[in-house]
Chains A and B, each alone.
Chain A
Amino acid sequence: MPQFSLYDEEFHPSPWQRTWLSFKSSHIAMVGLAMLGLFVIFSVFAPILTPYTAIEQNIDGLLLPPSWLPNGSISHIFGTDALGRDLFTLIIYGCRITLGSAFVTVVLAMLVGVSIGTIAGMLRGLRSSIVNHLLDALMAIPTLLIAIIIVAILGTGLVNSMWAITLALIPQFVHHTRSFVRAEMKKEYIVASKLDGANKWQLFFHSILPNMIEMLVVQGTLALSIAVIDISALGFLNLGAQASQPELGVILADGLDVAYLAPWNVAVPGMAIFLLVLSINIVGDGLRSALRKRVSH
C-alpha cells in the first residue's frame, strides 16, 4: 500500500472565518466588540439586570450623587435624577430603546435602500440617469429637516422620529448598492450566469446578493452609529421620544435642567451615547479593515 504523506489537518478557513481571524488580531477592534456586546446584553436583558424599574421614583433620594462621590451610596451607582429615578436603570433602559430603535431603523433603511439601489443599478439609459441623479439630489436633504417635517405632519413620538431617520439613511444604501451592482454587472461571472439564461431576478439573488452581504454589514454598522446619534439628537431636541420613554437623548435633555446642581445627570447619559457610538464605530472600522485585508491578500 503506497504511503501518501497527506496532511490531513490542513485548515482552509472559509471567507467569514478569515475575516474573523483578521478581525480578532486587532486588539482595539476586540475591545470595541466587547463594549458593544456589553451594550447589547444590557439592552436585551434590561429588566433582569436593573435593580429598579424605569419609572420607579425614590422620593427620599432626589439628585443623589453617584457612588464614587463622598455623598453617594452604592444603592444608586450613577446617582438619581431630579425625579428620584435611578440613573443606572434609566441608562440601561435608554440603551435598550436607543439601540433597539436604531437597529430597526437601519434594517428598514437597508431593505428599502438595497431594493432601490439594485433597480437603479440594473437600469440602463435615460431612465437610469433620471432615477439616479434625482434620487441623489433629493436625498441630500438634512436629517433634521426631514424629522421636523415628519413631526409637523404626524406629531412627535419615537416611531415618527424613526421614520424620519429611516428616510435619511436610505440614500447611502442606495448609493453603495447602486455602484456595487453596476460594478458587478460587468464581471465575468455575471456574464456567465446571463449566458446560462438567468433573468435579472435570479442574477440578483444568486449572484450579486451573496457578494454584497459583506458590504452591507459594513455599511450597516456605519448607519447604526449615525442612527444612534440621530435618534438621541431628536430625543434631545424634544422631537423624538417623549419624556415618559427613557431614551438616552431624552435623559440628557432632562438632566440639562439640573446641570448646575447635578452635573452627573448630563455627564452619564452623554457618556453612554458616546461609548455606544464609539464601540459601534470601532467594530465597523475593524470589520472594514479585516475585509480589506482579506480581499487584498
Chain B
Amino acid sequence: MIQILIRYSTLLFLTLLVLAFMSFSLAYLFPGDPLENLTGLVPQNEMQREALTRQFKLDGPYLIQFFHYVENMLAGNWGYSFTSGLPLREEVGIALPATIELATYAMLMALFIGIPLGYYAGMRCYSTSDHVINSTSITTYSFPVFWFALLLILIFSLQLDSAPLSGRISLLYDIEPITGFIIVDILLSELANKPLALKDAFSHLALPTLAIGAITTASMIRITRRSVIDVKHRPYIAAAVSRGLSSWQIFFRHILRNALLPILPLMAIQITTLITNAMIVETLFSWPGIGNWLIQAIYQRDYPALRVGMMAVSTVVITLTILVDLFNRLIDPSREKYERATV
C-alpha cells in the first residue's frame, strides 16, 4: 500500500517536472522573444530589458533558468497576459474552475445515467431494449460535439427560447467569485434572492452540460454494457447459476461490483476526451472557462497565456488521471499482482 503510494507520487512528481520543462521550453519554441514569452512583460528600452533578463536569470545556462522558472511557478509568479496585462494566475484561477465545474456535472450525468443504462442493456443483452439502447448510444457517440451544441442552441435557445444562449449567469446577479464554482459561490454569497440566482445559473448550465454529457454518457453506456456482458460469461457466474441463485442475487453479489472494475481505467481515458469536449463547447456557449480563454489566446497569439494555460490544464488532467489510476490499483488487487509480476 505505502509502496504503491510512493510509486504513484514519484510518478506524479516526475510527470509534472516533465510538463514544467515542456512549458518552459515553449517560451523558446514560440515565435518572438523568449523573455517576453516567459514573463509577458514587454521591455521598453535596453536597460529595462537587461534588468528583466537579470531578474529572471535568463543570462544563465538553461538549467538554472529552468529551476528559476519552476521556483517562480511554485511561488505563483506566472507572468502577465499580453492582451489584458493582468497576472495570469488570477485569470487562470477564474477560468479553470468554470471548466472543471462544467466537466464535473457532465461526468456526474454520465455516471448517473450511463452506468445504470449500461447495466440494464448488459443484463438484457441482445434483446430489443438492449438494441435500442446500444444503437442510441452509438448514434449519440457519433455526433461531433460542436455540431451537437449548435443544434441544442438552435432548438432550445433560438426556436423554443427556453434556455439562455451564453455565459454563466445573468448580469443581474453580482456573484463574488470565491471558489470559482458558480453554484457554490451563489450558496456562499449574501444575495437577497438566492433561489432565483440558482435557477438562473442552472438554466445557463443546462445546455453546455447536456452537450458534453450526452457524448460522455453514450461512451459510458457502451463501456459498461461490454463489461457486464464480459462478466456474465465468466465461469463463476455459471457456478452461481448452477447453485440456484436468482438472477437478482447474481446481479447484486457477483456482477455489480465485478463489472465496475474494468470501467475505472477506461474512465481515466474519458477524462481527456471530456476536457477536450468541454473546451470546444465553451467557445460555442461563451462559457468563461479555460477552453474559451485558451482559444481566445491563440487567436490573439498571447504566448504567455498559452504557456501557462497548457501547464494548468495538463496538470489538472494528469493529476486526475493518475489519481483514478491509483484508486483503481488500490481497490483491485488482481491488477496489482499483474503489475508486480511484470515490473
Q: How long is the Cα–Cα vector from A138 to B18 in the complex, in angstroms?
A: 8
| Shortest distance between the CB of A136 and any CB in chain B (Å) | 8
Hey, which chain B residues are within 8 Å of A128, CB to CB?
342-343
Which residues of chain B are near A259, meaning CB under 8 Å?
Answer: 150, 154
Q: How far, in whole Å, are A273 and B147 apart by their CA atoms in the complex?
A: 9
Instruction: Give the distance in Å from the alpha carbon of A145 to the alpha carbon of B280 in the complex.
Output: 11
Closest B residue to A248 by beta carbon equals B144
CA distance A149 to B25 in the complex (A): 12
B298 nearest CB across to chain A (Å):
5
A270/B150 in contact, CB under 8 A? yes
**Roughly how many angstroms separate A87 CA and B313 CA in the complex, as a whole number?**
38
Interface size on A, residues (CB 8 A): 46
Contact of B280 among A133, A144, A149, A153 (CB under 8 A): A144
The answer to whether B191 has its CB under 8 Å from any CB of chain A is no
User: Chain A interface secondary structure, helix, strand, loop or mixed?
Assistant: helix
Interface members, chain A 126-147 (any B CB < 8 Å): 126, 128-129, 133-134, 136-138, 140-145
User: With A134-B14, A145-B314, A237-B280 as given contacts, are A277 and B306 in contact (CB-CB < 8 Å)?
Assistant: no
Are B318's CB and A152's CB within 8 A? Answer: no
Contact (A229, B321) CB under 8 Å given A125-B343, A134-B14, A151-B298: no
B276 within 8 A of A: yes
Q: How many pairs of residues, A versus B, come closer than 8 Å at their CB atoms? A: 127
Check B306 against A149 for contact (C-beta < 8 Å). yes
Contact between B144 and A233, CB atoms less than 8 A apart: yes
Measured CA separation A172–B272 after assembly (Å):
12
A233 touches B146 (CB 8 A): yes
Interface centre among B19, B271, B276, B280, by most chain A C-beta atoms within 10 angstroms, is B276
Contact A270–B29 (Cβ < 8 Å):
no
Residue of A nearest to B15 (CB): A137
Interface contact B142-A277, CB-CB below 8 Å: yes
User: A256 and B291: CB pair below 8 A?
Assistant: no
B223 within 8 A of A: no
Q: What residues of B have a CB within 8 angstroms of the CB of A145 in the complex?
A: 276, 279, 294, 309-310, 313-314
Tell yes or no: B120 within 8 A of A by CB. Answer: no
B-chain residues with CB within 8 Å of residue A182 when the two chains form the complex: 342
Binding-face segment, B40-48, B133-141, B192-200: B133-141
Interface residue A236 (Cβ < 8 Å from any Cβ of B): yes
> Could you tell me if A233 and B280 are in contact, using CB atoms closer than 8 angstroms?
yes
Q: Is B280 a contact of A270 with CB atoms below 8 Å?
A: no
In the complex, the chain B residue whose C-beta lies closest to that of A277 is: B142
Q: Known: A152-B298, A263-B154. Is A270-B144 also a contact (CB below 8 A)?
A: yes
Contacts of B178 in A (CB 8 A): none
Question: B interface, how many residues as a size bin?
Answer: 35 or more
The 8 Å CB contact of B144, one of A138, A256, A274, A285, is A274
A129: chain B residues within 8 A (beta carbon): 343
- Of the residues B141, B142, B310, B317, contact of A149 by C-beta under 8 Å: B310
Interchain CA distance A238-B154 in the complex, whole Å: 21
Question: With a CB–CB cut-off of 8 A, which chain A residues contact B30?
Answer: 152-153
Complex Cα distance, B292 from A237, in Å, reads: 11
Given contacts A133-B11, A141-B318, A142-B272, contact A282 B144 (CB under 8 A): no
A156 vs chain B, min Cβ distance (A): 9
CA distance A134 to B16 in the complex (A): 10
Given A141-B317, A148-B298, A152-B30: A274 and B342 interface contact (C-beta under 8 Å): no
Q: A166 vs B276: C-alpha distance in the bound complex, in angstroms?
A: 15
Minimum CB distance partner of B135 in chain A: A28
**B143 contacts A142, CB within 8 Å?**
no
A161 within 8 A of B: no
Contact partner of A141 among B139, B279, B314, CB < 8 A? B314
B94 located at the interface, meaning its Cβ lies under 8 Å from any Cβ of chain A in the complex: no
Q: Distance (Å) between the CB of B305 and the closest chain A CB?
A: 10
The residue from B19, B144, B295, B317 contacting A232, defined by CB atoms under 8 A apart: B144
Asked whether A274 lies within 8 Å of B143 as measured between CB atoms, the reply is yes
**Nearest CB of chain A from residue B151's CB, rounded to whole Å:** 7
Q: Within the complex, which residue of A133, A142, A270 is in contact with B147, where a contact is CB–CB below 8 Å?
A: A270
A266 lies within 8 A of chain B by Cβ: yes
Q: Which of B142, B291, B321, B343 contacts A274 (CB 8 A)?
A: B142
**8 A Cβ contacts from A168-221 to B:** 172, 182
Q: How far is the CA of A142 from the CA of B270 in the complex (A)?
A: 10
Residues of B within 8 A of A274 (CB): 142-144, 147
Query: Would you call B301 an interface residue if the criterion is a C-beta within 8 Å of the partner chain's C-beta atoms?
Result: yes
Residues of chain B contacted by A40 (CB below 8 angstroms): none
Given A138-B15, A152-B30, A273-B147, A281 and B280 touching (CB < 8 A)? no
Closest 9 CB pairs of A and B: A270-B147, A278-B142, A137-B15, A142-B276, A277-B142, A140-B321, A141-B314, A144-B276, A129-B343
- Could you list some 14 contacts between A and B, CB below 8 A? A134-B11, A134-B14, A140-B317, A140-B318, A144-B279, A144-B280, A144-B294, A152-B301, A172-B269, A236-B146, A270-B151, A277-B142, A278-B138, A278-B142
Contacts A141-B318, A142-B279 aside, 20 further interface pairs with beta carbons under 8 A come to A28-B135, A124-B342, A125-B343, A128-B343, A137-B11, A137-B322, A140-B271, A140-B314, A148-B294, A149-B26, A152-B298, A153-B30, A229-B144, A233-B280, A237-B280, A237-B283, A237-B295, A266-B150, A270-B147, A278-B142
